[in-house]
């Protein structure tokens, strides 16, 4: 008996050591980034400790204002929010239609969407560029947003459709008898039940939009329209020497994603339909 | 409050087979009608057509004086309770019940008044702020009923509302729904495949089979005067015993014979069965109309047969005795205190005044 317990705790200890190691290796760069963002320009090369001797919070304000970082940040925020909003709106309506309505060509259309999921986005960059060019959308916000909405839709539709498919027919029937129109079923019943799926969609698309670099790099020449990822590159190029400010900018960039994740995590609760219908 | 009429209703899903065929039914205002039948016989389909959840292939449905064939469910002034409750999991009990009223733009006061009133009737006041998943099956079903009654509809529709509950809960909810009907005085249509529910709850029972209505009558009539073989076999537990045999005439008296066994018809039956002499018929008799000869009042040579006991099912209040002889298997409902051993022979008396004769082809009851 005693031996078993010892084994158990030994193996547990091993696992813990391993996991702590992984955490440290993930967190260290982050911590280093945050620490560096608070150091002075001189200290960054001389003081290797993770604890700055002098906290220079002004790096943040300087990055925000002087380095146009604020513009990039707000651009990114705008792109991300807009893209997500339309992805959620369109994908939930489309998924609801695919799942709950009958219309000709429904299956073919759906499989087309699924098929599109298999094409990697960079594979269609040339096509996107040509189309945007013909529509004179190069170097515009709309030109940057539309392809990203498009790219996010298939997976989101697929995910939400599987979710809506699981909503029992009786729930829809009972909503109809309660007085719901199709739109009201979508709004009052289907959407709230798909909350956790929507949270997943928001997180995934927030990540990909926030971190998107290639498309932005391709279509933007006007610095006022650029999102963070391209902006940071420019920033680095222009101010090679301003490491603390660059780090401050990167800290803010990362913080957004972490906050989004922590916030949305609450909504990802399993078994959201549990108890609705006896299973 | 309204009556409901089905005029020659048919429904086909695939243009080939009929789920419901030529149903005619008049449901009176304030009546409690139970649709009963085996699985797949079209009960739910019929109910869903009344609700407006399913289109009608042909025929006419009327609620009150209005033909509702093309009126959507929300405008039919009906409420429905489903087998699996179909509560909205993201809403509290209160919101579940209030939802239909909110959509109809009732005032806040009116809504909470109605919901609280319904909650009181159904004893679910303590749960009003819980989510459905925090309730037991019985409580959920009550909420589903509550959601129906707050709307004060003209007609209530129930589709097997109790079949997900355990036996005890089912009995309790059964009486509660009956009581609710008395209290609300509203037309109710109740679908079940449980004949006990049908017998105990319905003012009238509609027995369906294969999409067609077999018989519509009050419970006792259905039980004592089944119109055909199907109704006779479906209602009653254990079911009616059937014997295939022949009517022969022995002088002025008719007899029903199977192999070695012959039973004499009563005078009344004699008249009705006269035209079936020498024809094959099916005789049906309920298990409780077969008695142990030792206790029978009216034993004669012409209504007594011998059979051996195969299995005895002790129910406490009575005993289902499965019997067998060379011509037939049947079951008798005997007193629980009889001492019977499997394998023993016993003499049984048939109450021939309570038996039925059916035509083998059509299944029609020849004596009722
Ligand atoms: N949506 C549908 N599409 C096609 N056929 C259907 C549909 N719903 C029911 N049916 C068919 O119609 C017939 C009657 O079904 P219905 O659901 O009315 O039976 P039921 O009497 O309610 O049975 P149960 O007691 O099992 O609920 C069945 O043969 C069934 O297969
Ligand atoms: Mg059914």
pLDDT in tens, A46-82: 777 777 777 777 788 877 777 678 888 899 999 999 9
- Cβ–Cβ gap A275/B53 under 8 Å: no
For A148, the token pair is 């990203």
- A contacts of B85 (beta carbons < 8 Å): 276-278
**Does ligand 1 come within 6 angstroms of the Cβ of B44?**
yes
pLDDT band at residue A161 using 50, 70 and 90 as cut-offs: very high
Q: Which of B79, B134, B164 sits opposite A177 (nearest CB)?
A: B79
Rg (CA), chain A: 24
Looking at residue A274, its pLDDT comes to 38
Integer Cα distance of B276 and B265 in angstroms:
12
Q: Quick check: A123 pLDDT over 60?
A: yes
Integer Cα distance of B156 and B47 in angstroms:
10
What whole-number percentage of chain A has pLDDT above 90? 39
- Cβ–Cβ gap B73/A177 under 8 Å: yes
pLDDT band at residue A1 using 50, 70 and 90 as cut-offs: very low
Which atom of ligand 1 lies closest to the CA of B46? 18
Backbone φ/ψ region at B237: left (φ over 0), alpha (ψ -120 to 50), beta: beta
- Cβ–Cβ gap A276/B104 under 8 Å: no
- A contacts of B100 (beta carbons < 8 Å): 177-179
Q: Which of B51, B85, B131 sits opposite A177 (nearest CB)?
A: B51
Please write the tens of the pLDDT for every residue from A22-48: 999 988 888 888 888 888 877 777 777
pLDDT in tens, chain B (368 residues): 689 999 999 999 988 899 999 999 999 999 999 999 999 999 999 999 999 999 999 999 999 999 999 999 999 999 999 998 899 999 999 999 999 999 999 999 999 999 999 999 999 999 999 999 999 988 999 999 999 999 999 999 999 999 888 888 899 999 999 999 999 999 999 999 999 999 999 999 999 999 999 999 999 999 999 999 999 999 998 999 999 999 998 888 899 998 878 899 998 888 889 889 999 999 999 999 999 998 888 888 888 999 999 999 999 999 999 999 888 899 999 998 888 889 999 999 999 999 999 999 999 999 87
Is B100 at the interface with chain A, CB within 8 A?
Answer: yes
- List residues of A whose CB lies inside 8 A of any B CB: 168, 170-171, 173-180, 184, 188-189, 192-193, 195, 272-278
Which atom of ligand 1 lies closest to the CA of B208? 21
What is the distance in A from the centroid of ligand 2 to the CA of B46? Answer: 9
Counting ligands in written order, the one closest to the CA of B43 is 1
- Gap between the terminal Cα atoms of chain B: 35
Looking at residue A100, its pLDDT comes to 92
Looking at residue A141, its pLDDT comes to 94
Q: Which of A184, A193, A275 sits opposite B131 (nearest CB)?
A: A275
- Cβ–Cβ gap A277/B79 under 8 Å: no
- Mean pLDDT, chain A, rounded, equals 84
Integer Cα distance of B2 and B186 in angstroms:
8
- Atom 20 in ligand 1: residue holding the nearest Cα: B40
- B contacts of A192 (beta carbons < 8 Å): 90
Residues A230, A69 contacting (CB under 8 angstroms): no
| B residues 121..160 contacting A (CB < 8 A) | 131-135, 137, 140, 147
Counting ligands in written order, the one closest to the CA of B41 is 1
- Strand, coil or helix: what is A67? coil
Q: In this structure, what are the phi and psi dihedrals at residue B33, rounded to the nearest 5 degrees?
A: -110, 135
pTM exceeding 0.80 = yes
Closest chain B residue by Cα to residue A275: B133
Looking at residue A7, its pLDDT comes to 63
- Cβ–Cβ gap B89/A174 under 8 Å: no
Is B92 at the interface with chain A, CB within 8 A?
Answer: no
**Does ligand 1 come within 6 angstroms of the Cβ of B45?**
yes
H/E run at residue A228: helix A228-238
- Strand, coil or helix: what is A136? coil
Ligand 1 pocket: which of B20, B23, B41, B51 to mutate (most atoms within 8 A of CB)? B41
Please write the tens of the pLDDT for every residue from A224-275: 899 988 887 777 776 666 788 888 888 888 888 888 888 877 776 543 443 3
- Nearest residue to B308 via CA among B260, B344, B262, B259: B344
- Atom 17 in ligand 1: residue holding the nearest Cα: B44
For B215, the token pair is 């018989």
- Atom 24 in ligand 1: residue holding the nearest Cα: B39
Looking at residue A52, its pLDDT comes to 75
Chain CA centroid to CA B133, Å: 31
- Atom 18 in ligand 1: residue holding the nearest Cα: B42
Q: Where do we find the tokens 């033909």? A: B67
Looking at residue B111, its pLDDT comes to 96
Q: Quick check: A8 pLDDT over 70?
A: no
CA angle B59, B60, B62 (to 5 degrees): 160
What is the distance in A from the centroid of ligand 2 to the CA of B85? Answer: 14
Edge-to-edge order in the sheet of strand B345-350: B290-292, B345-350, B304-314, B318-324, B329-335
Q: Which of A168, A173, A188 sits opposite B53 (nearest CB)?
A: A173
Q: Quick check: A117 pLDDT over 80?
A: no
Choose between A117 and A209: higher pLDDT.
A209
**Does ligand 1 come within 6 angstroms of the Cβ of B48?**
no
Q: Which of B52, B133, B147 sits opposite A275 (nearest CB)?
A: B133
Question: How many Cα atoms within 13 Å fall on the side-chain side of residue B270?
Answer: 11
């Amino acid at each position: 008996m005693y031996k078993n317990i010892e084994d158990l705790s030994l193996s547990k200890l091993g696992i813990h050591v391993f996991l702590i190691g992984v955490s440290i290796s993930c967190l260290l760069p982050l911590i280093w980034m945050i620490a560096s963002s608070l150091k002075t320009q001189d200290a960054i090369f001389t003081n290797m400790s993770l604890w700055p001797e002098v906290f220079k919070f002004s790096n943040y304000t300087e990055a925000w204002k002087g380095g146009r970082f604020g513009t990039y940040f707000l651009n990114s925020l705008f792109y991300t929010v807009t893209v997500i909003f339309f992805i959620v709106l369109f994908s939930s309506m489309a998924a609801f239609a695919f799942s709950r309505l009958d219309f000709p060509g429904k299956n073919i259309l759906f499989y087309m969407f699924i098929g599109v999921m298999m094409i990697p986005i960079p594979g269609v960059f040339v096509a996107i560029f040509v189309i945007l060019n013909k529509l004179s959308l190069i170097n515009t916000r709309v030109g940057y947003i539309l392809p990203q909405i498009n790219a996010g839709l298939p997976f989101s539709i697929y995910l939400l459709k599987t979710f809506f498919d699981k909503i029992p027919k009786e729930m829809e029937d009972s909503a109809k008898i309660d007085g719901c129109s199709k739109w009201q079923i979508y709004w009052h019943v289907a959407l709230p039940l798909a909350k956790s799926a929507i949270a997943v969609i928001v997180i995934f698309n927030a990540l990909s939009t926030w971190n998107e670099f290639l498309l932005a790099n391709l279509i933007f020449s006007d610095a006022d329209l650029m999102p963070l990822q391209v902006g940071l590159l420019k920033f680095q190029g222009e101010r090679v020497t301003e490491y603390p400010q660059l780090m401050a900018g990167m800290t803010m960039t990362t913080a957004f994603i972490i906050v989004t994740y922590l916030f949305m995590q609450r909504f990802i609760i399993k078994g959201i339909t549990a108890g609705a219908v006896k299973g | 409050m309204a009556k409901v009429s089905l005029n020659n209703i048919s429904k086909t899903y695939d243009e080939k087979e009929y789920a419901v065929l030529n149903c005619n039914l008049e449901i009176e205002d304030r009546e409690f009608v139970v649709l009963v039948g085996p699985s797949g016989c079209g009960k739910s389909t019929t109910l869903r057509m009344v609700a407006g959840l399913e289109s009608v292939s042909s025929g006419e449905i009327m609620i009150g004086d209005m033909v509702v064939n093309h009126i959507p469910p929300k405008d039919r002034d009906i409420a429905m309770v489903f087998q699996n409750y179909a509560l909205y999991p993201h809403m509290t009990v209160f919101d579940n019940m209030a939802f239909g009223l909110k959509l109809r733009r009732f005032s806040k006061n009116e809504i909470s008044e109605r919901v609280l009133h319904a909650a009181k009737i159904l004893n679910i006041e303590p749960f009003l702020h819980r989510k459905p998943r925090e309730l037991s099956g019985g409580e959920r079903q009550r909420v589903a009923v509550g959601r129906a009654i707050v709307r004060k509809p003209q007609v209530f529709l129930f589709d097997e509302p109790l079949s997900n509950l355990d036996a005890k809960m089912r009995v309790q909810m059964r009486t509660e729904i009956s009581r609710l009907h008395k209290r609300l005085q509203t037309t109710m249509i109740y679908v079940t495949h449980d004949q006990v529910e049908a017998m105990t709850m319905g003012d009238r029972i509609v027995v369906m089979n294969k999409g067609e209505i077999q018989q519509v009558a009050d419970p006792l009539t259905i039980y004592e005067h089944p119109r055909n073989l199907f109704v006779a076999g479906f209602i009653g537990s254990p079911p009616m015993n059937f014997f295939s045999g022949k009517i022969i005439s022995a002088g002025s008296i008719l007899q029903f014979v199977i192999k070695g066994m012959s039973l004499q018809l009563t005078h009344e039956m004699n008249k009705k069965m006269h035209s079936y002499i020498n024809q094959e018929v099916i005789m049906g008799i309920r298990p409780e109309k077969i008695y142990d000869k030792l206790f029978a009042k009216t034993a004669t040579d012409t209504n007594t047969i011998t059979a051996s006991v195969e299995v005895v099912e002790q129910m406490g209040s009575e005993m289902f005795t499965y019997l067998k002889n060379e011509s037939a298997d049947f079951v008798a409902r005997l007193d629980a205190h009889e001492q019977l051993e499997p394998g023993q022979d016993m003499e049984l008396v048939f109450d021939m005044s309570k038996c039925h004769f059916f035509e083998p082809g059509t299944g029609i009851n020849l004596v009722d």
